[in-house]
Structure 1
Amino acid sequence: MKELFAKHTIVDVLYATAGILFCGFALKGFLVPNSFFDGGITGLSLLLHELYHWPISVVIVVANLPLIIMAGFQVNKGFAIKTFLAIIGLALCLQFIPYPEITSDKLLVSIFGGVFMGIGIGLAMRGGYALDGVEVLALYTGKRISFTISEIILGINIIIFLVAAVELGLPTALYSILTYYCASRTINFVVEGIEEFNGVTIISGQSELIKEELVMTLGKGITIYKGERGFLKDSYNISQPCDIVFTVVTRLELRRLKNIVHELDPKAFVFTNVIKETAGGVLSRHARH
């Protein structure tokens, strides 16, 4: 157990270190020299740096410190300590590593600055670290008001970009929104990976054939719910018992599954939903860190 724990700790630290280096590259190589912003506390730090010319390495630590303390109460002390170490590491990276300025082209800065920032934050998240405390603030606020965490984060970012638009001009704010979008999409890709899972529910009169194909051809595990199909407007009182099939596939397998179901029953009702995390069962996937 100790050896396994030590191995996981080393891997987590490597993820966090790589994430810090990528974030530092995004900030000093793209965003800071061109007065661009991101969302969250990082975006707030960049805005304060641009308006008051405070050192970015100091501003990032000071801006995140109250949220790190809050994380100790809202999440747990271990997460707060790891987040504090990650923020300190990012500040040291920004202070002492001489990243070159890559480009001054606004479109390239907004896109690739966001991409490298997203890679950095995503890698840190895979290691269990956080490089931006805005999620903690949203979690704390969400327990006191009726908004979701996503809505709170969106509101915080809207305020940041509005201030940027007033103080630094609308074009800069718009390019920064593009940066934030690129970063958020990249974070999702890094954390979830290309094998993002989808839950698929199939309601069909040919459920026996579909079950056999899913298990024997695709090699998938399935779960069966007992239900009834029918209840149409012209024949509301007519229904038949059926097996409702549920399975989980990767995004890359989804099209093949739909083709198989359509060949067996063109009238089958199929709907999918994205699954953010999976564990156990017959799924094969690398462990999350």
Structure 2
Amino acid sequence: MKERLLTKDFFRNITLITLGSFLYALSVNAFTLPNDLSEGGLTGFSLILFYLTDIPPSYTIFTLNIIILGIGYKFLDKQTLYYTLIANAIISVLLLVVTPWTFVPENQILAPIGAGIFMGSGIGLIMLGRGTTAGSDIIAKLMHKYLGVSIPAGLLLIDVCIVVPSAFIIGAENAFLTLINLYISNKVIDFFLEGLNPKKSFFIVSEKYNEIASEIEKQIGRGITILNGKGYFTQEDKQILYIIISRREVLQIKRIVEAIDDNAFMTISHVQEVAGEGFTYLSPETQAERITDAEDAWIEEQNS
């Protein structure tokens, strides 16, 4: 039975990755390239090289992603690594195949809208299939580990470093349209992964809380608060993990918890606003003060 379930999961994930890779390639070949737009991350870097040297993006995307995977493979679990390699290979092939279709609208704004929708849908499906597009995600994690830059800030910095120079190649107007493309793409990815809510909070109750916290810190790099609790029925002391995350990290957190403890108790809640490290650019003193106030308020509410 277990092997059958694994087989079903495998084919489901491959189907999602293949469909996502097709939409990814369609976004680049049908919307981005014909309209002289760019992208963020390694895709954007590959497009800049294409505009300068005519080297097909499929070659540079595949080569650069393999190099980055080789450097940062330890940041991905084995299953995600395998699916990422598969996604990278399929994307590279489809970028060569999906070439006849182009969309050059009379109204320029339609090009980045279309590119953002298809790119966001493609990446969202690949991530739902347990894969990634590698590239920027791994670089951002390396920046977090060695430079202390938060992962969201790292991703933003990478995109800025790609889009700003591209303005000298594709023009300021097209660079601005590329920003619209990136904004729409990120919104579509968020919708695929966790709807439209801005932030999420997790309460996790598990006897293996140390293992879970360690793995979350290792893979995602978010701060975790351990709260002391007590079960009413059993009268046993319990440790509760409390964490605020972005929408993109919800699936990853759930998978980490489920892999370590199937019996863990989790609640996921919508958070209206968060201020602090990893979510804003406040000073460390202000961040610490706000986090402490939030924890004190929560404890006070629980004791009332």
Where on the TM-score scale, by shorter chain, does this alignment land: which range?
0.5 to 0.7
Q: 1:193 to 1:53 in 2, by over 3 A?
A: same
Give 1:198 shift: 5.2
Tell me if structure 2 keeps the 8 A contact 1:72–1:78: no
In the alignment, what sits opposite 1:32?
33
Give 1:66 shift: 1.3
Matches within 5 A, 1:3-82: 3-82=4-83
Q: Does 1:147 align with 2:175?
A: no
Equivalent position SS for 2:131? coil
Equivalent position SS for 1:69? helix
Q: Which runs of 5+ in 1 are unaligned?
A: 202-224, 227-271, 285-289
In the alignment, what sits opposite 1:89?
90
TM, length-normalised to structure 2: 0.64
Aligned equivalents of 1:113, 1:79: Cα separation in 2: 26
Aligned equivalents of 2:103, 2:54: Cα separation in 1: 21
Q: 1:84 to 1:200 in 2, by over 3 A?
A: closer
**1:109 pairs with 111, 123, 127, which one?**
111
Equivalent position SS for 2:103? coil
Greater gyration radius: 1
Q: Which amino acid aligns with 1:7?
A: K
Per-residue CA distance 1:34-73 (angstroms, 9 max, x = gap): 1111111111111111121111211211221211212323
Equivalent position SS for 1:102? coil
Aligned equivalents of 1:48, 1:166: Cα separation in 2: 13
Q: 1:102 to 1:132 in 2, by over 3 A?
A: farther
In the alignment, what sits opposite 1:182?
184
Give 1:108 shift: 0.6
Aligned equivalents of 2:152, 2:110: Cα separation in 1: 27
Q: Does 1:166 align with 2:177?
A: no
Aligned equivalents of 2:70, 2:145: Cα separation in 1: 17
Aligned equivalents of 1:78, 1:274: Cα separation in 2: 23
Aligned-residue identity in percent: 24
Q: 1:196 to 1:148 in 2, by over 3 A?
A: closer
TM, length-normalised to structure 1: 0.67
Give 1:80 shift: 2.7
In the alignment, what sits opposite 1:215?
none
Q: 1:71 to 1:77 in 2, by over 3 A?
A: farther
Q: Which runs of 5+ in 2 are unaligned?
A: 204-228, 231-243, 259-263, 269-304
Instruction: Please identify, of 190-199 and 165-174, the stretch whose mean Cα deviation from structure 2 is larger.
Output: 190-199
Corresponding residue pairs, total: 220
**Higher helix proportion, which one?**
2
Give 1:273 shift: 8.8
Per-residue CA distance 1:89-148 (angstroms, 9 max, x = gap): 111111123441123342111111011100000000001111242100110121011210
In the alignment, what sits opposite 1:119?
121
Q: 1:77 to 1:173 in 2, by over 3 A?
A: same
Give 1:85 shift: 1.7
Q: Which amino acid aligns with 1:60?
A: I
User: Which 4+ stretches in 1 moved above 4 angstroms?
Assistant: 194-201, 272-276, 278-284
Aligned equivalents of 2:128, 2:18: Cα separation in 1: 11
Q: Which amino acid aligns with 2:52?
A: L
Equivalent position SS for 2:130? coil
